Amino acid sequence: MATLLMCTLLFSAGTISNAQPSAEKVNIVLFYVDDLGWKDVGFMGSTYYETPNIDKLAGEGMIFTDAYANAPNCAPSRASLMSGQYTPRHGVYTVASSARGKSATRKIIPTPNKKTLDLHKKTIAERLQAAGYETISIGKWHLGQPPVGGPQQHGFDANIGGSKAGHPKSYFTPYKNEFLPDGPTGEHLTDRLASEAISFIEKKRSRPFFLYLPWFAVHSPIRGKADLIKKYAAKKTHGDQSNPTYAAMIESLDQNIGRILAALDSLKLAENTVVIFHSDNGGMRSVTSMAPLRGGKGMLYEGGIRVPLAVRWPGKINAGSRSSEPVIGMDIYPTILRLAGLEAAPGYQVDGKDLSPLLLNEKTSLSRNAIFWHFPAYLQGRAKGARDPLFRTRPGAAVRMGDWKLIEYFEDGERELYNLKDDISEKNNIAHTHPERADKLHQAMVEWRKLTNAPVPTTPNPDFKQK
């Protein structure tokens, strides 16, 4: 298991090394799925959900078994994906307020949260746009409201459906979305987004393009097509994966990814198109299972942050290849730049790591020491696997270094240490029996916080009532 990122020397970022402009620029398609859990697709082990098109996509490229979201919920993950930076650099830590839950149950004052991505951030779309790419965002944005902070203010030539909203008002027309005209009676949102994507590809295929498709699915409200719900209701379940409506949503997603891939084939664009499949955070424990991982969306346990990731580029990435290297969503930013023959903007800090050496079989590991998560906020809600009966997450942070993972809680400084190789389910906190290891990981976190100016909330909440 390779290691990840700790201090200034080890945490090298910014420029993309060895980037060589290509004569024919590669197209980029980024499928960013909302709330898709680690094992919600066949290529990661599900036997209940049927995802033949996604599995085929993954099988034709590289699968990352130890891939992570940038955060345990959606808005910060998206901000880090677009900016290529860790959350302390852009200040989007959570969804809505960082002071969620009843005030009397919050021991400290959390760090204030930003709800929009600052315009001075150099997004991946801006870099591609400046290089002559046609850029479009189709689906969920959740980083600001047009015309002030929408996709078109962050490097996208066009925006279909994207706003500050974190979920759709309806998965069937009328959509009640001012940036997506309603379709014919009965039209399904996931079908519609795929149709828009195919139309874009057909019209823009003469120029290099960046198609960012952040699906609204499979976020709540949990709504699916009646025929697919009926199909899964009659199917044998697999453990906690047993919700037929959620399964129907996943199959609709799979069908439409298949439609887009078929369009690339028919237009003879597949060999010059990099396709990336990723999720913004772990799945919702109320509808699916990340077993054997602990927890789900909103938690710093593996079930909340470990997600599917696969990358395909026919003829360049070996089909059927796999990597157990720990990687994170921010890595997509410098990876796309390298594959497109580009570099980061001069002086712009990129925290992600270029994955192309792994993808192109140049290396088997990355030269970084650790991956970090910083969540100085409260996220209420009872959930199986949570540490606290009132909160999915209290203000805290996490680091993965090799096989080891440390979680720290800011309210009281308590630590949890796990060896993921031996205990992927995070059942046994061994911080007290391995204090030197816990101290080493914690010191890495301290150094990283200095490097990124990460705030650690400590001010007592006067409303807090000790039980």
The per-residue pLDDT for range 114-151, each reduced to its tens digit, is 999 999 999 999 999 999 999 999 999 999 999 999 99
Above 60 in pLDDT, residue 6?
no
Q: How far is CA 63 from CA 12, 58, 214, 307, 359, in A?
A: 25, 6, 20, 11, 10
- Smallest CA-to-CA distance from 330 within 295, 285, 294, 366 is with 366
Average pLDDT over the chain, rounded to an integer: 94
**To which residue do tokens 């990597």 refer?**
323
Above 60 in pLDDT, residue 441?
yes
Above 50 in pLDDT, residue 338?
yes
Residue ranges making up the domain that contains 319: 27-368
Work out the average pLDDT over 403-431.
98
- Determine, yes or no, domain membership for 387: no
Answer whether 134's CB lies under 8 Å from 197's CB.
no
- Determine, yes or no, domain membership for 306: yes
Work out the average pLDDT over 298-311.
98
Q: How many CB atoms lie within 10 A of CB 391?
A: 21
Q: Point out the least confidently predicted range of 104-108, 289-293, 386-390.
A: 386-390
The predicted pLDDT at position 24 comes to 72
Above 60 in pLDDT, residue 12?
no
- Determine, yes or no, domain membership for 438: no
What one-character DSSP code corresponds to residue 212? Answer: E
pTM: 0.94
> Would you call 206 exposed, middle or buried from its count of C-beta atoms within 10 A (0-12, 13-18, 19+)?
exposed
- Determine, yes or no, domain membership for 454: no
The predicted pLDDT at position 382 comes to 78
Work out the average pLDDT over 3-24.
37
82-100 per-position pLDDT tens digit? 999 999 999 999 999 999 9
Q: What is the CATH number of the domain that holds 328?
A: 3.40.720.10
The predicted pLDDT at position 206 comes to 86
Residue 5 banded pLDDT, cuts 50, 70, 90:
very low
- Determine, yes or no, domain membership for 300: yes
Separation between Cα atoms, residue 387 and residue 414, nearest integer Å: 12
365-381 per-position pLDDT tens digit? 998 999 999 999 999 98
- Determine, yes or no, domain membership for 381: no
- Determine, yes or no, domain membership for 66: yes
- Determine, yes or no, domain membership for 199: yes
Answer whether 451's CB lies under 8 Å from 11's CB.
yes
DSSP of 132-147, one letter per residue?
T-EEEEES---S--TT
Which amino acid belongs to residue 57? L
Which residues are identified as catalytic? 74, 142
The predicted pLDDT at position 240 comes to 80
Domain count, the chain: 1
Q: How far is CA 394 from CA 104, 106, 113, 141, in A?
A: 14, 8, 14, 26
31-79 per-position pLDDT tens digit? 999 999 999 999 999 999 999 999 999 999 999 999 999 999 999 999 9
Q: What percent of the chain has pLDDT over 70?
A: 95
Answer whether 448's CB lies under 8 Å from 90's CB.
no
Work out the average pLDDT over 273-293.
96
Separation between Cα atoms, residue 330 and residue 366, nearest integer Å: 14
219-250 per-position pLDDT tens digit? 999 999 999 999 999 998 777 899 999 999 99
Above 90 in pLDDT, residue 384?
no
User: For the chain, how many residues are written?
Assistant: 467
Work out the average pLDDT over 452-466.
96
Q: Residues near 96 by Cβ (< 8 Å), separated by ≥ 6?
A: 113, 115
Above 60 in pLDDT, residue 442?
yes
Q: How many CB atoms lie within 10 A of CB 363?
A: 14
The predicted pLDDT at position 239 comes to 74
DSSP bridge partners of 96: none
The predicted pLDDT at position 14 comes to 38
Report the SS3 class of residue 87: helix
Q: Exposed e or buried b for every residue in 230-247, given b needs 16+ CB within 10 A?
A: ebbeeeeeeeebbbbbbb
